[in-house]
Amino acid sequence: MAALHMALDLNDPELEFSDLVYAYQSWVMAVINDEKLGGDDKLLTDDITEDALNSMRFLPGEVTSAIETSLARVYEVDADELAELLFPED
């Protein structure tokens, strides 16, 4: 898996919806890689997490849910297990 991080600047007037989706998707993929797939290269960083959490403020729940569901299917992760990995304190 290639490096996933891009610097998300919420004040950038050129910021697009796809940038928010990418940031959230990158976080979900990094969590799956690090926690479920046992990847040798750890992908999750504080910057990726921060960008994803900032993106969540602007993404509809339907979009974040669709991203999670799609990636859970692709990586054969149970949806409930993925939710626990993403939001362990909930």
Q: CA separation (Å) from 53 to 20, 46, 48, 74? A: 10, 10, 9, 22
Q: Which residue has the higher pLDDT, 31 or 11?
A: 31
Flag whether pLDDT at 40 surpasses 50: yes
Flag whether pLDDT at 3 surpasses 60: no
Tell me the backbone φ, ψ of residue 59, rounded to 5 degrees: -90, 135
* pTM score, whole prediction: 0.84
pLDDT of residue 84: 93
CA–CA distance, 88 with 38 (Å, rounded to integer): 18
What are the boundaries of each domain within the chain?
17-86
Flag whether pLDDT at 31 surpasses 50: yes
Nearest Cα to 48, choosing from 71, 25, 77, 74? 25
